[in-house]
Chains A and B, each alone.
Chain A
Amino acid sequence: MTSVALMLSCVAALLATVVLAAFIARSRLATPAIYSLSLGISAIAFSTGLVQLSSPAADSPALVLPFGLPWLGAHFRLDPLAAFFLVVVNLGGAFASLYGLGYGRHEHAPHRVLPFFPAFLVGMNLVILSDDAFTFLLSWEFMSLASWALVMAHHRDAGNRRAGYIYIVMASFGTLALLLAFGLLAGPDGAYGFAAMRAAQHTPFTTGLVFVLLMLGAGSKAGLVPLHVWLPLAHPAAPSHVSALMSGVMTKVAVYGVIRVLFDLVGTPAWWSSLVVLLIGGGTAVLGILHALMERDLKRMLAYSTIENIGVVFVGLGLALAFKDAGMELAAALAMTAALFQVLNHSFFKSLLFFGAGAVLTQTGERDLEKLGGLIHRMPVTAFAFLVACVAISALPPFNGFASEWLVFQAILQSPDLPQWALTILVPAVGGLLALSAAVAAACFVRAFGIAFLGQPITEASAGASEADRFSLAAMAILAALCLLAGILPGIVIDALSPVTKLLVGGRMPVQTDVPWLSIVPVAESRSSYNGLLVFLFIGFSAWLSATVIHRFASRALRRAPVWDCGFPGIDATMQYTAGSFAQPARRVFGTLVFRARERVDMPPPGALIPARFELEFHDLVWEGLCLPVAGAVGFVAEKLNHLQFLTIRRYLSLVFLALVLLLLVLALWS
């Protein structure tokens, strides 16, 4: 039984789970049954993908099933690229299921979640497995549909409905764009198989057009600015483990789509496309994380930070594109590795963060940072896992986020050898954008963790919280461990990615596992190297050393006392720094530029009894500059055309009459 067949049978099993869920959804046993089923299946699929990735077959033949497009059939194929993304998807799926085992108990409408959860997994798996345009798009849109249903799970909330609507419309916009792209690739006689597309020769014009359509289609799914507006609405609206899947995994499926088309199907696109990808990526990273820094809704903040990470990934892809175009396989491999590594890492810590947010949500019923606080005392394990994720996502050593970010920077440092001046000048600037986004990310997650978990509880809800259930904790703990492992042993991951880079850019990074001390060296040791393991050990060692020395030779006495706070009396929880106030300096620096943020404070004169007022005005320029006008235009046209509904019969007749006369005129003039 080939691995493709195994994968497909996993998918079939998931489909069976969907059907089962549809029937037993309302029973009490449904939640554990469904989640444990999907956990098991995802685990199998994950291991299959891992095996396939570690020992890639020389050639990966396509498996053809008599479904989908007649006369073509549904093609499925499992090459290293697909294998890697299957690993990501199913790992995320497995963790989400594990988490769901506990989280699902708090779900008040399980029958609106259970059937669609496995369906969502099915969609994502199929997208990656499919090897022809029809199957790809069908699974793609099916994925959107399932996730839409999950977003609508809590449909009584008007905000969720709106989110779902915007989401599904954007999704179908993306699908149509992809549809056009594939139509171009397939050519007039409809060669929809990927193999045929690969074989075909595409004109530069076609390639460019396909590229643009791809960025519109897959980019909107991935959440690239300016097509990101749906993402921060839809991801938080779903139940948290689904949010984790959408943010941590589904966006990666979109990335997969981009890679598949851009690096595999169209051959080599023009160099300017790499320029576009780089610019969009950098802009996305910065804009996304700035949004996140301003956001006070915990889950939405996470969604925005997803946008940032996607931006980082796309910078990596853009670099890979540029290097591949310039024929620098090594550098291209480095960049591509960095991008894929970032994909993997982000799926780890973003899932973890959403799990944490979900735990907080179930325990306190609050998503608003301003209403949380002091949870580290009540939910220590959750807090610890969340902290790990925060450090990792802020790209700080020795965790995994830093490793991938470091690789991206190393790739940027290869840019001087690029032939195009525009790129050589621009790439370091993009690097600056990345650095900025990383630094802002640190600020953003200090804020998130500090406000939500540290300090003193502000509301009863956060004061009365208790630790999450064991399934959730297990999922979070394992993920935290993975974040650390990937951070201190990046070499293994890099080597595992080599078949993928070989496939995509025709080169690979130097073998890492036989570098002494398990360091990673992108190009050569003389240029740069990094060793997460030693960093970790050193930090641990020196911390332990200093602690023991001090405790041994200096005082170890400890006294608990009331908060000092510069001797300021009567501290209470409401005097703490809030999320809004934490973001205020950054808002002043960046916000005025990026969000046209304005704040007005009118302080009453001393002794006056009127309250002091603080008003904050905040604009999402993309939303106001792009989405609202489009919606407005459609509404306007609809309104105008709507008058045609209320004409008199005579007027309708005159329409018919005019049509007739017009056609006759055409005929009279036609020769």
Chain B
Amino acid sequence: MQGPVYFDIAHMLAGGLVLVSMMMLYQDRLYALLNVFALHSLLLTLSVAWQAFIQGAPHLYVTAAIALIFKVVVIPVALHHMIRKLGIHREIETVVGIGATMLAGIGLVALSIVVMLRVTPEADPLTREDLAFALSVLLLGLLIMVTRRNAVSQVVGFMSLENGLVLAAAGAKGMPLVVEISVAFSILIAFIVIGVFLFRIRERFDTVDVRALDDVRGRRRK
């Protein structure tokens, strides 16, 4: 079942995802960042579900469910908890100014669209648009990881990157379930291991600020 309306809705959702990614770029408070991320994941859930609906691919609902549970609920809550537990000061020190980051983000979006629009028009337009958005979400997620010093926000950035992946996967028609599972799988592992590591690191340093790890190196030049 195809049609302009369905396409537009999918389009809207995907575009919204990009928008939210942009919003994440200028969050300078951890809690706010987490909330926006939750919103991000919610949008993802919706768009995946919508894809499931229009593709008539029930297994995508599973993916949507996974996204909903983990990314909208579990992870933000867990991170809230963690932040409180670690008593991280609320501020996120960014490397470059918000403005510059935003500009870079816009540039990235433009880039991804340019790249994706080279795809021959014969290909399913839905795929093309979706991919363009997915790519930009991915790049923006990476941008967040790169421009934030605080480990939690880096983790968030990483997960928004994964969201982009899921978006792309969902957009891919008839992509076997293997992939979604693996995505969820990887995210799961990612989350667990990150958690484990944060915990271990917590034991040794009072902050999860990655620089604390790097400081060790100052003493040990090899």
Is B154 a contact of A650 with CB atoms below 8 Å? yes
B45 proximal to A (CB < 8 A): no
- Give, as a whole number of angstroms, the nearest-CB distance from B120 to chain A: 14
Partner of A650, one of B112, B146, B218, B222: B146
| Chain A residues within an 8 Å CB radius of B155 | none
- Give, as a whole number of angstroms, the nearest-CB distance from B32 to chain A: 21
Partner of B142, one of A647, A660, A665, A667: A660
| Chain B residues within an 8 Å CB radius of A656 | 142
Q: Chain B 187-219 against A: per-residue CB contact (8 Å), 1 yes, 0 no? A: 000000000000000000000001101100110
| Chain B residues within an 8 Å CB radius of A660 | 139, 142
Interface SS, B side? helix
Task: Say yes or no: A664-B111 contact (C-beta < 8 A), given A650-B154, A650-B210.
Answer: yes
B114 proximal to A (CB < 8 A): yes
Cα A650 to Cα B222 with chains together (Å): 19
Cα A648 to Cα B218 with chains together (Å): 11
| Chain A residues within an 8 Å CB radius of B146 | 650, 653-654, 657
Cα A95 to Cα B210 with chains together (Å): 68
B115 proximal to A (CB < 8 A): yes
Closest to A671 in B: B118
B108 proximal to A (CB < 8 A): yes
Q: Chain B 148-177 against A: per-residue CB contact (8 Å), 1 yes, 0 no? A: 110000100000000000000000000000
- Give, as a whole number of angstroms, the nearest-CB distance from A667 to chain B: 6
- Give, as a whole number of angstroms, the nearest-CB distance from A570 to chain B: 63
Is B143 a contact of A648 with CB atoms below 8 Å? no
Q: How many residues of B contact A (CB 8 A)?
A: 23
Is A649 a contact of B112 with CB atoms below 8 Å? no
Q: Chain B 88-114 against A: per-residue CB contact (8 Å), 1 yes, 0 no? A: 000000010000000000001001101
Interface SS, A side? helix
Cα A660 to Cα B146 with chains together (Å): 13
Is A653 a contact of B142 with CB atoms below 8 Å? yes
A422 proximal to B (CB < 8 A): no
Cα A289 to Cα B210 with chains together (Å): 63
Is A668 a contact of B142 with CB atoms below 8 Å? no
Is A661 a contact of B108 with CB atoms below 8 Å? yes
A646 proximal to B (CB < 8 A): yes
B145 proximal to A (CB < 8 A): yes
Is B115 a contact of A668 with CB atoms below 8 Å? yes
- Give, as a whole number of angstroms, the nearest-CB distance from A337 to chain B: 60
Q: Chain A 190-201 against B: per-residue CB contact (8 Å), 1 yes, 0 no? A: 000000000000
B221 proximal to A (CB < 8 A): yes
| Chain A residues within an 8 Å CB radius of B148 | 650
Q: Chain B 47-77 against A: per-residue CB contact (8 Å), 1 yes, 0 no? A: 0000000000000000000000000000000
- Give, as a whole number of angstroms, the nearest-CB distance from B114 to chain A: 5
Is B210 a contact of A649 with CB atoms below 8 Å? yes
Closest to B143 in A: A657
Partner of A646, one of B118, B142, B217: B217
Closest to A649 in B: B210
Q: How many residues of A contact B (CB 8 A)?
A: 16
| Chain B residues within an 8 Å CB radius of A647 | 214
Cα A648 to Cα B115 with chains together (Å): 30
| Chain B residues within an 8 Å CB radius of A667 | 115, 118
Cα A667 to Cα B214 with chains together (Å): 34
Partner of B95, one of A650, A664, A665: A650
| Chain A residues within an 8 Å CB radius of B145 | 650, 653, 657
Closest to B108 in A: A661
Closest to B107 in A: A661
Q: Chain A 624-666 against B: per-residue CB contact (8 Å), 1 yes, 0 no? A: 0000000000000000000001111110011011001100110
Is A661 a contact of B139 with CB atoms below 8 Å? yes
Is B111 a contact of A668 with CB atoms below 8 Å? yes
| Chain B residues within an 8 Å CB radius of A657 | 142-143, 145-146
Is B112 a contact of A664 with CB atoms below 8 Å? yes
| Chain A residues within an 8 Å CB radius of B211 | 648
Cα A656 to Cα B141 with chains together (Å): 13
Closest to B95 in A: A650
Cα A671 to Cα B24 with chains together (Å): 34
- Give, as a whole number of angstroms, the nearest-CB distance from B150 to chain A: 10
Cα A657 to Cα B148 with chains together (Å): 14
Is A649 a contact of B115 with CB atoms below 8 Å? no
Partner of B214, one of A648, A653, A664, A668: A648
Cα A665 to Cα B214 with chains together (Å): 31
Task: Say yes or no: A668-B114 contact (C-beta < 8 A), given A646-B217, A660-B142, A661-B108.
Answer: yes
| Chain A residues within an 8 Å CB radius of B108 | 661
Task: Say yes or no: A665-B111 contact (C-beta < 8 A), given A649-B210, A649-B213, A650-B149.
Answer: yes
Cα A654 to Cα B95 with chains together (Å): 11
Partner of A664, one of B115, B149, B210: B115
- Given contacts A646-B221, A657-B146, list 8 more A-B pairs with CB under 8 A: A646-B218, A653-B145, A654-B146, A657-B142, A660-B142, A661-B139, A668-B111, A668-B115
Q: List 23 A-B contacts (CB under 8 A).
A: A645-B222, A646-B214, A646-B217, A646-B218, A647-B214, A648-B210, A648-B211, A648-B214, A650-B95, A650-B146, A650-B148, A650-B154, A653-B145, A660-B139, A660-B142, A661-B108, A661-B111, A664-B111, A664-B112, A667-B115, A667-B118, A668-B114, A668-B118
Top 3 nearest A-B pairs by Cβ distance?
A648-B214, A654-B146, A668-B114
